[in-house]
Amino acid sequence: MINLNETIVVGLLTIFIAAIIQGITGFGFALIAVPILSVFLLPKDIIPIVVIYSLIMNIIMYIKKRYHIRFSDLKTLIIFSAIGIPLGVLLLNILDANIIKLVTAIVIILTAFALISGWEWKGKDTQFTTAVVGLTSGILNGSTSMSGPPIVLFLINQKFCKEHFRSYLPAFGIITNLITIIFFLIGKNINATQLEYTIIFSPALFCGLFLGMILVNYINEYLFRRLSLILILITGFYTFFAVLI
């Protein structure tokens, strides 16, 4: 049986590593944190914590990159994400924990494969496509805390440069995470235990994020991104088979 001390130690280490990856690549925090922490905690307890952390990190990263943002470019994504978020929160509240873990694993595996292979959407970029991406992202954020995968693939398809990629992601994340937290509060998905874990794990979050933001200037980002995607893929397969076995 897993005790509280083990949960805290693994939680601190997981949050630290996930935050480093977020600081260097601009994404990946939830893809690492959720599947590992789900071994120790229920998805209903993990997901609000990860959304709160994502909001904090997005604010920090946005402050650094805010001069690259044109919010008009995100309007359709934000509107339809806001529609999807309450649907996602509803799914979080009604679905079995193993189903949520399975959906999480599938999202992680498909995202990692898409990014590793360099897959791009070959269809036309229309308002409908943008709306579907936003809606999907909102549903995933409310149910799994993983709003990033559809947006990352969308921005890559839009041929965004690295600097714009690093600025638009946190700008979108701030708004969608705020909306998600509001619906979590309405649905009573946030409790004292989650807030306690949020406080306990927060030093690892800040240390990992700032370390990642420093290291990005000194390491081979392409190589690190590939290694991160492999790690993300491993966590996805681990979660997938852990649910089935």
Helices (H), the chain: 4-25, 29-37, 43-65, 75-94, 97-117, 127-144, 148-157, 162-186, 192-215, 221-244
Report whether pLDDT(10) > 70.
Answer: yes
Judge whether residue 178 has pLDDT over 90: yes
pTM for the whole structure: 0.88
Q: Is the pLDDT of residue 1 over 60?
A: no
Could you tell me the pLDDT band of residue 67, with boundaries at 50, 70 and 90?
A: low
- The more confident residue out of 224 and 56 is 56
Whether pLDDT at 13 is above 70 = yes
- The pLDDT confidence band at residue 124, using thresholds 50, 70 and 90, is low
Q: Return the pLDDT at 162.
A: 66
Q: Is the pLDDT of residue 234 over 60?
A: yes
Mean pLDDT, to the nearest integer, of 179-201? Answer: 94
CA gap 85, 143 in Å, rounded: 8
**What amino acid is encoded at 198 in this protein?**
T
Between residues 2 and 54, the one the model is more confident about: 54
What is the average pLDDT across 137-145? Answer: 92
With a cut of 60, say whether residue 99 has pLDDT above it.
Answer: yes
Q: How far out from the chain centre does Cα 177 lie?
A: 10
Radius of gyration in angstroms for the set of CA atoms belonging to the chain, rounded to a whole number: 17
Is the pLDDT higher at 60 or at 124?
Answer: 60
What residue segments make up the domains of the chain, in order of their start?
A: 4-244
Burial class of residue 220 in the structure, from the number of CB atoms within 10 Å of its CB (0-12 exposed, 13-18 middle, 19+ buried)? exposed
Q: Quick one: pLDDT at residue 112? A: 86
Mean pLDDT for the chain overall: 86
